[in-house]
Amino acid sequence: MDQNCDECKRVWRAYAAATTEFYSVDKQLQTAAKGNRLETVASLVSKLETLEQAKVAAHEAISQHEKETGHR
Ligand SMILES: [Zn+2]
């Protein structure tokens, strides 16, 4: 990441936020699964799928930006 580039900071921050949220929901899912709370599990699984896509999209935004600018 180029410390002087606002776009680098923005895409990395978005990726970090998506990753943090993904692991937070993943943890909630494990707790719900242990407690056998099936409805909660189902809703968290679908949330996790959405977050997984957001994580992939955020990572692609980083790759794209790095490719366009040569920033690393
Ligand atoms: Zn940049």
- Give residue 69's pLDDT: 97
pTM for the predicted model, two decimal places = 0.86
Give residue 59 CA to ligand 1 midpoint distance, Å.
14
Structural domain containing residue 62: 6-69
**Does residue 18 belong to any structural domain of this protein?**
yes
CB 62 within 8 A of CB 19: no
11 burial type by CB count under 10 A (0-12 exposed, 13-18 middle, 19+ buried): buried
- Give residue 60's pLDDT: 98
Overall domain count for the chain: 1
CB 49 within 8 A of CB 2: no
- Give residue 17's pLDDT: 97
**Does residue 1 belong to any structural domain of this protein?**
no
pLDDT single digits (tens) 22-69: 999 999 999 999 999 999 999 999 999 999 999 999 999 999 999 999
Give residue 67 CA to ligand 1 midpoint distance, Å.
10
Comparing 1 with 39, which gets the higher pLDDT?
39
**Does residue 65 belong to any structural domain of this protein?**
yes
- Give residue 23's pLDDT: 97
